[in-house]
């Protein structure tokens, strides 16, 4: 139990703030290598394919960890699970300062990916525990926006440290932030029903929403049996459901594009003939746009629900404009202007944020609490596998097309602009009320 005292007003939003802070730190840690990559490539004579393989080491562990840690969160609980994983990746981040070449960097990135993979399944589960469905999109946008803020502030922290003291301290300082976060997490986070600082009205609202969700599977007398069916189902049971695959597709067809921006953007700018110091504005503007896009999507979805739209329709609006908006990435092949590139990437990340926010909130909309982190983890694993394949191809094509100069990344950005549109179409087909809904395996949207 939390330390007894006066109830904290709107405690759930303080919990959301903690999840936001965790995501900020998570992204600062992971952005450190991508920001230093242009300099480390020179120091260690890496090709783009070498860098891709180091980034893939992170993604292999991240994709496996999303599913594994998602299951762990459902078993041991959000508080304990996230405590263990934040300790893990904070220590690994600091130890990366001891790396001395390709293999040691790849090893540390693998370990970092394993630890950081727990953040999204854990945060999604926490949102399902603390927020009613009408607020989940906004709460998800809040914690997910931490990735954008983390990516936006990372250049100012990491590069500032690098230009003064070198790359090794640039890994140590971000890693130490997670240790500070743990103090607040251990003090504040408990499930609502066990929290001594939650107000009676807030607890009653959360519990009423959970009861409503449990009795609204198909709106029939099957509600009680459906609740039993959803009590921690096996992965193979979840994978039989088209709704699960809709979430997997939503992450797999969009997240690799965003990870291309977060982990390759500095190298991409250099390939476009732009110096990183002068291109700093282009590095952080897309992240701020993604942050605004997360809140915009959460606000739009919540507003539409209040206006009487069905939950499914309200969630699909950001998915539609996200899939369409990300096609603008293709137009970047026609310019080397820094400000136009920054603007186009900002539009892409703004619309991507709407798509991915809905992908992150859908597990808590569709599934019982016992399965939320598992389904979220499956989506993360799909995104990880897609990113691994994408990074391998990015490294190969960017190396083989170096003679093309500023157009060396053109095939990459063309594919990156088209794939999310295909993902949007598939998600609209898979996320719908069907026989599984009527049988009570998933909630109606």
Let me know how many helices (H) and strands (E) the chain has, helices first: 18, 0
Q: Which of 57, 63, 69 is nearest to 108 (CA)?
A: 57
Q: How far is CA 125 from CA 190, 367, 377, in A?
A: 12, 11, 10
CB-based contact 185:83 (threshold 8 Å):
yes
Residue 412 confidence (pLDDT): 92
Compute the distance between CA of residue 15 and CA of residue 126 in angstroms, rounded to an integer: 8
**pLDDT over 90 (residue 316):** yes
Q: What average pLDDT does the chain have?
A: 86
Please compute the mean of the pLDDT values over residues 181-190 and round it to a whole number. Answer: 91
Query: Which residues have C-beta within 8 Å of that of residue 84, sequence separation ≥ 6?
Result: none
- Rounded to 10°, the helix 133-165/280-306 angle is 170
* Ordered structural domains, the chain, with CATH: 11-438 (1.20.1250.20)
What is the residue whose two structure tokens read 């998600």? 427
Query: Which residues have C-beta within 8 Å of that of residue 44, sequence separation ≥ 6?
Result: 101, 102
Compute the distance between CA of residue 189 and CA of residue 210 in angstroms, rounded to an integer: 19
Q: pLDDT band for 289, please (50, 70, 90 cuts).
A: very high
CA 269 to chain centre: 23
Residue-wise pLDDT tens digits, 41-92: 999 999 999 999 999 999 898 888 877 777 778 788 888 888 988 999 899 9
| 372 SS3 class | helix
CB-based contact 269:284 (threshold 8 Å):
no
Residue-wise pLDDT tens digits, 344-393: 999 999 999 999 989 988 888 888 777 777 788 788 888 888 998 999 99
Q: pLDDT band for 2, please (50, 70, 90 cuts).
A: low
Q: How many CB atoms lie within 10 A of CB 17?
A: 15
């Amino acid at each position: 139990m939390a330390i007894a005292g006066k109830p904290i007003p709107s405690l759930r939003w303080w919990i959301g703030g903690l999840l936001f802070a965790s995501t900020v730190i998570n992204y600062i840690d992971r952005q450190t290598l991508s920001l230093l990559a242009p300099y480390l490539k020179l120091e260690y004579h890496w090709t783009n394919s070498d860098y891709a393989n180091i980034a893939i080491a992170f993604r292999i562990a991240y994709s496996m960890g999303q599913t594994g840690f998602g299951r762990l969160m459902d078993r041991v609980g959000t508080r304990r699970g996230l405590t263990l994983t934040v300790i893990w990746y904070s220590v690994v981040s600091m130890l990366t300062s001891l790396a001395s070449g390709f293999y040691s960097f790849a090893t540390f990135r693998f370990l970092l990916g394993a630890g950081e993979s727990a953040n999204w399944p854990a945060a999604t589960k926490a949102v399902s525990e603390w927020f009613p469905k009408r607020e989940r999109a906004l709460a998800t946008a809040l914690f997910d926006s931490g990735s954008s803020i983390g990516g936006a502030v990372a250049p100012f922290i990491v590069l500032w440290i690098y230009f003064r003291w070198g790359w090794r301290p640039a890994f140590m300082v971000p890693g130490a932030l997670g240790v500070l976060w743990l103090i607040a997490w251990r003090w504040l986070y408990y499930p609502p029903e066990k929290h001594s600082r939650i107000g009676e009205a807030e607890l009653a609202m959360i519990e009423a929403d959970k009861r409503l969700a449990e009795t609204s599977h198909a709106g029939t007398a099957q509600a009680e049996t459906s609740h039993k069916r959803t009590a921690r189902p096996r992965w193979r049971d979840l994978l039989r459901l088209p709704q699960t695959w809709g979430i997997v597709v939503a992450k797999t067809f969009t997240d690799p594009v965003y990870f291309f921006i977060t982990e390759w953007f500095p190298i991409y700018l250099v390939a476009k003939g732009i110096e990183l110091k002068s291109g700093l504005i282009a590095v952080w503007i897309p992240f701020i746009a993604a942050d605004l896009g997360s809140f915009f999507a959460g606000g739009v979805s919540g507003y539409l629900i209040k206006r009487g739209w069905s939950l499914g329709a309200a969630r699909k609006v950001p998915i539609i404009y996200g899939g369409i908006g990300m096609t603008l990435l293709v137009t970047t092949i026609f310019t080397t202007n820094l400000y136009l590139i920054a603007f186009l990437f900002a539009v892409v990340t703004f619309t991507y944020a709407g798509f991915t926010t809905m992908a992150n909130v859908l597990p808590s909309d569709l599934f019982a609490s016992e399965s939320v982190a598992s389904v979220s983890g499956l989506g993360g694993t799909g995104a990880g596998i897609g990113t691994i394949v994408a990074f391998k191809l990015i490294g190969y094509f960017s190396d083989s097309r170096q003679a093309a100069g500023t157009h060396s990344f053109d095939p990459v950005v063309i594919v990156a602009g088209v794939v999310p549109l295909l993902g949007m179409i598939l998600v609209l087909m898979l996320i719908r009320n069907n026989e599984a809904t009527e049988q009570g395996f998933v909630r109606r949207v």
